Amino acid sequence: MNEFIPMSRPFLGEEEIQSVAEVLKSGWITTGPRCAEFERRFIELTGARYALTMSSATAGMHIVLKSLGIKDGDEVITPSLTFASTVNQIVLAGARPVFADIDYDTLLVRKDEIARLITGRTKAIIPVHYAGAPADMEAIEAAAGAIPVIEDAAHAIGTYYQGRHIGHKHTAIFSFHPIKNITTGEGGMITTNDEDLTHKLRLHRFHGIERDAWKRYGKGSDPSYDILDPGFKYNLTDLQAAIGITQLAKLQTITQKRNVIARRYVKGLSALAGLDLPGAPPYDHGHAWHLFVVKIKSMERRHFMEALAERNIGYGFHFPACHTLSYVKRRFGTTHLPVTEDVAEKIVSLPLYPGMDGLQVQRVIEAVREIIA
């Protein structure tokens, strides 16, 4: 039998191993100078004024919503086709998630949907840069007015909008989960230009303490501290940051490799009438190709996935529509989103990772052709 092709695999090498070994030998392995360096490198990438390492993107969303004062009775607009983490954090903040429908071709949230849903209770808008394609931020900004925009950039490391990397303008939250384009094992990053927000985020990230531990326990430093507001423990470690710094140095190569594979999929599968390929946003952008999501039209999705499994090929499902989740319906009632509901029954993510070789890509293409034919 052919070797199994997973849907995703991290792009790791000896450089990451060496970077971790150096931290282990340094004597300081938790949040410290490597995290600070990772933040500086991320500022250079995005052009944001501030960057904060986090234990996860979920943790980042939690403290961003808390720091913005999102509370009971507030509404937050977001697409339903996203990982449930975002919606969970909205709900846990006490707010109501208000779901906007998406564009069929790109699977990105629609500006007209956002504009239609804004009320006096709307306190934040969270567009998702789905699969590595950027949402239309200028249009969303125009609809939002003075309402804070929080970019769900979990898929968007390496994504560009109008020539600028995602995260340069609005508060954005990135993920470094192993499935993402770069990884720290687990982890995330917040970028923002808001100084006051940054101060609150730093406090909420680590117990409410205003000074980093590595700055309190260095030679000749003052180990005392004060707690200005109760916080959480959402810090990244230097062990993880060392991997992130090394991964970030490979980002251009990673993105190029992903784009090459995506172009091969488009060329090899475009003639198939039984599926729809990902559409390209109609504005200037750079796609990170975190996912390659097709829509199966000629057969039930489960049969398509079973056929891939029989051929030893992995796949993904990104995502169940959040407005159809049991607890969401129970707490907030039924919402009808025709496009989201349509695509949620059809979408499948094909294998896509930088380590895929040409033969593996061709195997996937031939398998899809055979199944759909």
List the catalytic residues: 180
How far apart CA 184 and CA 238 sit, in angstroms, is 10
Q: What angle do CA 102, 108, 112 make, to 5 degrees?
A: 55
Angle between helices 195-205 and 57-67 (to 10 degrees): 120
φ and ψ of 304, to 5 deg = -65, -45
Which helix (H) or strand (E) segment is 285 a member of? strand 285-286
Phi-psi region of 87 (alpha: psi -120 to 50; beta: other; left: phi over 0): alpha
Determine how β-strand 292-296 pairs with β-strand 275-276: antiparallel
How far apart CA 8 and CA 290 sit, in angstroms, is 10
φ and ψ of 236, to 5 deg = -85, 155
Handedness of CA 247, 252, 255, 258 (dihedral sign): negative
Looking at residue 4, what DSSP letter applies?
A: P
Q: Which alpha helices (H) appear in 159-273, and where do they start and end?
A: 195-205, 213-216, 238-249, 251-269
How far apart CA 71 and CA 117 sit, in angstroms, is 18
Structure tokens at 123: 């306190």
Angle between helices 84-92 and 57-67 (to 10 degrees): 30
* Secondary structure percentages of the chain, helix, strand, coil, to 5: 40, 15, 45
Structure tokens at 238: 């230097």
What type of residue is 307?
A
Handedness of CA 31, 34, 40, 41 (dihedral sign): negative
